[in-house]
Structure 1
Amino acid sequence: MHLPTTKMNSRLGIEIGLLVLLSLIWGSSFTWIKVAVTTIPPLTITAIRVSVAAVFLAALARWRGYALPRDHVVWREFFVQGLLQSALPFTLLGWGSKYIPSGLTGVLNATPPMFVLLIAFVTGYGAQHVTGQKIVGVCLGLLGVVVIIGTQSLGDIQTSAGWAQAAVLGASLCYALASILGRRFAKLPAIVTATGAMTTAAIMIVPAAIVIERPWTLMPSTDAIAAVMVLAVICTALAMVIYFRLVQTLGPLGTTSGGYLRAGFAVALGIIFLDENFDTSTLIGMTLIAVGVVAVTVPIAWPSLLRS
């Protein structure tokens, strides 16, 4: 009688462990970006990252017996998904990381759920799922952004830090749009969608990197080369494999809950390995954003809590 429960608990423990691992991997990506961007420009980082991931995912899809679709309409949608999911946000994050701490980048980039809700307000798409708790969460998150950006940048809007924070928030908006548009691929296996989106991202970003940044003229440091390879192999390709498994086992809500832990890892790793420091106003803003994201994405049974 106890064996099935034991096995179930053991499986759940494995999945929770994988969720923590995925949060650590994605949380560390902001640290690796910070290291890589010192001598490798953002477009080149993104080009390497998506190209390696595309090859890895294509090989995995083929090994699992999946074929990529031939419909040109689907591939046109892949291009939009690849732009919003990888090509544009990866580049914005790379550029923004040149001017602000990696921990702050990680927290600001935890805001896609709030952008999804704001899009629902504006367009009416999904507005039926908007609750008072989510509205409070959005307000708290936006207040946190204002506290961070307002104290550091609004006094001089032309500062690089101000534009960098705007770029990271722009990446979050891209992720929000990608999550909404990604529902069009519900009938395709997740690995096929990821492969198509990553392949089209590589098709878009590689020529841009070659023309604009001329990567063959660069002299990257050993640390930067190692960092960008970790980003490509571990933080993109391997992370995608873990992510797809967790979506099937823990579900979308359980998987996205790792975003809070990811932001925490980003801050901790930045402090430990990059000697990053945060002033009081930044810490307050980061806390408001974290609480806001939790309020937007995690359902809380308030009546049950009040009765207990």
Structure 2
Amino acid sequence: MRTKYIVPMLFLSVCLIWGTTWFAMEVAVTTIPPIMATGLRFLIAAPLLVALAKYFEQPLLFPKGRGYWVPIVAVFYFALPFTLMIFGEQYISSGLAAIIFANMPIVVMLASFVFLRLRLVPHQLLGLLLAAISLSWILVNEMAIGGTSYAIGIGALSGAVIIHAVMYVMVQKHCKDIPVLTYNALPCLLASVLLLFVSGLVESVDMSGFAISSLAAVVFLGVVASVGGIVAYFKLNQVSTPFTASLCFFIFPIVALLISAAVNNSGIGLQSMLLLAPLFMGILLSKAEPALWRKGWRKLTVRPVKKCPACLAEELV
């Protein structure tokens, strides 16, 4: 199949996977405690990631001298942020959760500025300012509507975004040569064991009360979101550019909002909806390479480039 067909198919797949992931988390947590739900998700995903690593002949173990990164990734990439995400969805809609997480590129850029001394050009600074103001306005609007419960959910999702961003920077610095499946397989398995152990200690788990819909959502998260999302996004970065792949961050929140509105008849206020335009414009400005303004859209978006496989994992939902 020609690249011109592969790229839009992969792009659509990633947007749909990421967009539906948030609704699946919302469904999963209705009858399954958040730590247990996240642990089961990774318990399902881990064997599939191990099998894929074997199939593509990628090592399961981290390179010698960097094995200590396995528990770090397990806790700070998998266990903690993903638990915060699903915990937060007990208090806010899946659409609003997706909007918060869509700001990942902005937070990654700020973390890179702080820890990697990344130089920001003027249009990126403008984008950061525009996105920050728009998101703050949206969150203030939604907290005024939802009250304390929304504040808890927004805080949990914001914490997850910050942890992911810092992990991205650390991976850029220390683990950028580790293959994507190696980076995910064993840490995912370790995260599942840790989460299920902690769940047994702190959560009141009644497995007889698990709804079929919640169990199906967990299976979806384990197979489609955790494994399919990795494969689709990694392949998209191989055959397109990082900028093209980053455009998924504009589409998947819309998918999540549409699903939330259609299924739960819930979403965000009209003013918040209108603020999505400057928010996404800010993200676009911050992510756009300077070449976009010099060479034009087509030249930038069709040129394949290579990107650190381990770093790609940090951009996944």
TM-score (norm 2): 0.84
Return closer, same or farther for 1:257/1:54 CA change in 2, 3 Å cut-off: same
- Which segment drifts farther, 199-208 or 70-79? 70-79
- State the distance in 2 between where 1:175 and 1:272 align: 30
- State the distance in 1 between where 2:104 and 2:162 align: 6
**Which residue in 2 is equivalent to 1:41?**
33
Over the matched positions of the two proteins, sequence identity in percent amounts to 23
Residue type matched to 2:164 in 1?
Y
Residue type matched to 1:165 in 2?
I
Shift of 1:187: 2.3
Return closer, same or farther for 1:57/1:120 CA change in 2, 3 Å cut-off: closer
Provide, for residues 4-39 of structure 1, a one-character-per-residue CA deviation record: whole Å limited to 9, x for no partner: xxx7xx223112211211110111011111111111
**Which residue in 1 is equivalent to 2:124?**
134
- Local SS of the residue matching 1:99: coil
Return closer, same or farther for 1:200/1:180 CA change in 2, 3 Å cut-off: farther
- State the distance in 2 between where 1:224 and 1:152 align: 26
**Which residue in 2 is equivalent to 1:261?**
251
- State the distance in 1 between where 2:56 and 2:259 align: 35
- State the distance in 2 between where 1:99 and 1:286 align: 21
Task: Give 1:233-248 correspondences, 5 Å limit.
Answer: 233-248=223-238
Return closer, same or farther for 1:48/1:261 CA change in 2, 3 Å cut-off: same
Provide, for residues 232-251 of structure 1, a one-character-per-residue CA deviation record: whole Å limited to 9, x for no partner: 11111122122222232224
Residue type matched to 2:92 in 1?
I
- Local SS of the residue matching 1:149: helix
**Which residue in 2 is equivalent to 1:170?**
159
Q: Is the 8 A contact 1:147 1:281 kept in 2?
A: no
- State the distance in 1 between where 2:226 and 2:117 align: 29
Provide, for residues 83-108 of structure 1, a one-character-per-residue CA deviation record: whole Å limited to 9, x for no partner: 23221121111111111111111111
Larger radius of gyration: 1
Structure 2: unaligned runs, 5 residues or longer = 297-317
- State the distance in 1 between where 2:62 and 2:141 align: 51
Structure 1: unaligned runs, 5 residues or longer = 1-6
Return closer, same or farther for 1:285/1:262 CA change in 2, 3 Å cut-off: same
Return closer, same or farther for 1:72/1:201 CA change in 2, 3 Å cut-off: farther
Equivalent residue in structure 2 for 1:283, among 267, 273, 280? 273
Residue type matched to 1:256 in 2?
S
Q: Is the 8 A contact 1:143 1:285 kept in 2?
A: no
Shift of 1:167: 1.1
Task: Give 1:104-253 correspondences, 5 Å limit.
Answer: 104-123=96-115, 125-128=116-119, 130-153=120-143, 159-183=148-172, 184-217=174-207, 219-253=209-243
- Which segment drifts farther, 111-120 or 294-303? 294-303
- Which segment drifts farther, 49-58 or 12-21? 12-21
Task: Give 1:42-61 correspondences, 5 Å limit.
Answer: 42-61=34-53
Provide, for residues 243-262 of structure 1, a one-character-per-residue CA deviation record: whole Å limited to 9, x for no partner: 22223222433323212111
Taking only aligned residues, the RMSD between alpha carbons, in angstroms, comes to 2.3
